[in-house]
C-alpha cells in the first residue's frame, strides 16, 4: 500500500474540504506561510501538497496572489435525501426494463447515464498487451490445464499481496479467480441461498444485483442508502431481527449507483450485526482501488473474524476492462464457490489471467492507479459543474469520494 506522506495527507484533507463545499470555487486557500503555521508543517510540505492539488485540477495559482479553488461548480446542487423503503421482502422483476435501457445505448444520440463504462483510453492497454505477449511466451503447456481448475498461482499471489496491504491477511487458498466480479457475485449468492430465500440489498442498488436476484428467484429486502454514509444500519438491524434473511449483498465503498461509502465505525457495527445473526455477507467491492484520497477504504472483509464475508473484486474497473478477470475471497464458502464455478464456466481465460499477473508484477499498477484516480476525480468535478450549469436547480446529486458515479438517489423501480 501507498504509505501516506505528510504532504499527501494535507492535500487529501484540503481535497475533502473542496469536495464538501467548505472551500467554494474562487475561495483563496491559505497562503504557504499560513498553512505552515496552522498545520505545523514545513514550507516544502505545503508546496508539494499544493502542487498535487493543482495537478489534480482542484486549485490554480493566480499571479502574485496565491492559490484559489477552481471554478468547478458555481452553485453546487444539493445532496439527495435518503428515501425510506417499505419494510418486508419483494419479488424482483426488472430484467426487461434493464435490457431496454441497455438496448437504447446502441442509439448514438443517447447519452448513457446508466452504466459504468469509462473511456477505454484511461487504461494501460498497450502495456497490458506487452504483458500478454510476455506471459504467453512463458506459459507452459502444463499451466494451460492446471490454471483452468486452480487459477493462475502468480495472479493469486499478487491479489493476496494487495489484500495484505489493505489490511486483510488472506490465505491464498481463499481466492477463486472468476470471469469478472459478476460471476463471483453470482456464485456467492448461489453458494448461500436457495430459490425463495430473502436477501438484503441496497436501495438504490446496482441494477445487475436486481437481475441476479430475479434470475435466482430470490426475494429482495431493501435497505435505504444514505447518499454519503451508505446503508442505514437501523433498518438493517430491524430486518435482521425480524426476517429470515439468508444473505446480504452490499457495496461498502463508492456504491453503485450513488457513490456512498460506509464509515469505519459503520463497518464495525455492520460486521457485528452480521456476526450476531450469522448472516453471510457478499461484499461487492469492485471500485475499492478508485479512492480519490490517498487512503484506500478498508473492506468490510477486514472486520470479519469468522469467514462469514465473501469479498468480490475485479480488474475490470481499475485496470483491464474487457479482460474479464475478477475474484472472490470466499471465507468459509470458498470450496462451494470453486465447485459451482467448475460446473458453470470452469475457468476464466488462462492467457488473460497470466497477462494480468505479469502486469501486476512488472507493469506499474500503482502508478497507473494514481493517474486513473486523478482523471476520475477531475471528471467528477466537470460532471458536477455541468450538472449545476445545465440541469434544473431542483436536481440532487451526490459527491462520492471515489469510483465512477455521481448519484441522484432515485429508488429501485421494480417492485411489482
Applying CB under 8 A, which residues contact a second copy? 95, 99, 102, 117, 119-121, 123, 125, 128-129, 132-133, 136-137, 139, 141-142, 144-145, 147-149, 179-180, 182-183, 186, 190, 195, 208, 211-212, 215, 321-325, 339-340, 342-352, 355
Q: What's the min distance (Å) between Cβ of 158 and a second copy?
A: 18
**3-state SS class at 284:** strand
* Alpha carbon distance 62, 191 (integer Å): 58
Nearer to a second copy (CB atom), residue 119 or residue 278: 119
CB 61 within 8 A of CB 51: no
Nearer to a second copy (CB atom), residue 35 or residue 355: 355
Nearer to a second copy (CB atom), residue 149 or residue 242: 149
Return the sign of the alpha-carbon dihedral for residues 98, 103, 109, 115.
positive
CB 200 within 8 A of CB 212: no
Q: What's the min distance (Å) between Cβ of 348 and a second copy?
A: 6
* Alpha carbon distance 366, 399 (integer Å): 24
Q: What's the min distance (Å) between Cβ of 104 and a second copy?
A: 13
Nearer to a second copy (CB atom), residue 14 or residue 340: 340
Q: What's the min distance (Å) between Cβ of 102 and a second copy?
A: 7
Q: In the Cβ-directed half-sphere of 12, how many Cα atoms lie within 13 Å?
A: 15
Q: What's the min distance (Å) between Cβ of 397 and a second copy?
A: 25
Nearer to a second copy (CB atom), residue 145 or residue 165: 145
Report how far Cα 362 is from the mean position of its chain's Cα atoms: 24
Strands (E), 112-236: 175-178, 198-203, 219-226, 230-231
Residues 39, 28, 19: CA angle, nearest 5 degrees:
75
Q: What's the min distance (Å) between Cβ of 247 and a second copy?
A: 17
Nearer to a second copy (CB atom), residue 220 or residue 260: 220
Amino acid at each position: 500500500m501507498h504509505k501516506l506522506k505528510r504532504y499527501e495527507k494535507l492535500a487529501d484533507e484540503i481535497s475533502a474540504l473542496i469536495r464538501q463545499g467548505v472551500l467554494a470555487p474562487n475561495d483563496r486557500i491559505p497562503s504557504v506561510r499560513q498553512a505552515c503555521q496552522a498545520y505545523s508543517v514545513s514550507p516544502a510540505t505545503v508546496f508539494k501538497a499544493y502542487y498535487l492539488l493543482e495537478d489534480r485540477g482542484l486549485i490554480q495559482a493566480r499571479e502574485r496572489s496565491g492559490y484559489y479553488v477552481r471554478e468547478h461548480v458555481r452553485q453546487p446542487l444539493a445532496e439527495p435525501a435518503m428515501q425510506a423503503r417499505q419494510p418486508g421482502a419483494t419479488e424482483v422483476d426488472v430484467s426487461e426494463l434493464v435490457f431496454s435501457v441497455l438496448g437504447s445505448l446502441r442509439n448514438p444520440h443517447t447519452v448513457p447515464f446508466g452504466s459504468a463504462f469509462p473511456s477505454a483510453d484511461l487504461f494501460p492497454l498497450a502495456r497490458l498487451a506487452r504483458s500478454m505477449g510476455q506471459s504467453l511466451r512463458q506459459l507452459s503447456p502444463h499451466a494451460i490445464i492446471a490454471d483452468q481448475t486452480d487459477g493462475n498461482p502468480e495472479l493469486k499471489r499478487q491479489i493476496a499481496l494487495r489484500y495484505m496491504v489493505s489490511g486483510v491477511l488472506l490465505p491464498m487458498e481463499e481466492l477463486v479467480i472468476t470471469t469478472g466480479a459478476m460471476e463471483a457475485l453470482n456464485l456467492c449468492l448461489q453458494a448461500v441461498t436457495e430459490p425463495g430465500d430473502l436477501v438484503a440489498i441496497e436501495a438504490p442498488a446496482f441494477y445487475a444485483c436486481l437481475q441476479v436476484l430475479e434470475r435466482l428467484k430470490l426475494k429482495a429486502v431493501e435497505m435505504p442508502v444514505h447518499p454519503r454514509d451508505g446503508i442505514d444500519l437501523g433498518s438493517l438491524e430491524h430486518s435482521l431481527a425480524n426476517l429470515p434473511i439468508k444473505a446480504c449483498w452490499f457495496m461498502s465503498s463508492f456504491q453503485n449507483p450513488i457513490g456512498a461509502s460506509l464509515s469505519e465505525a459503520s463497518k464495525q457495527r455492520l460486521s457485528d450485526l452480521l456476526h450476531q445473526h450469522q448472516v453471510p455477507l457478499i461484499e461487492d467491492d469492485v471500485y475499492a482501488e478508485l479512492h480519490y484520497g490517498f487512503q484506500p477504504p478498508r473492506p468490510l472483509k477486514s472486520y470479519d473474524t469468522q469467514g462469514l464475508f465473501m469479498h468480490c473484486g475485479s480488474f475490470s474497473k481499475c485496470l483491464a476492462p474487457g479482460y474479464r478477470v475478477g475474484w472472490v475471497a470466499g471465507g468459509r464458502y470458498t470450496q462451494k464457490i470453486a465447485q459451482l464455478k467448475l460446473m458453470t464456466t470452469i475457468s476464466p481465460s488462462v492467457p488473460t489471467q497470466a497477462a494480468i499477473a505479469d502486469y501486476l508484477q512488472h507493469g506499474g499498477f500503482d502508478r497507473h492507479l494514481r493517474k486513473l484516480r486523478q482523471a476520475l476525480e477531475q471528471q467528477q468535478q466537470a460532471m458536477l459543474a455541468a450538472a449545476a450549469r445545465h440541469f434544473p436547480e431542483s436536481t440532487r446529486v451526490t459527491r462520492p469520494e471515489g469510483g465512477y458515479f455521481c448519484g441522484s438517489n432515485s429508488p429501485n423501480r421494480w417492485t411489482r
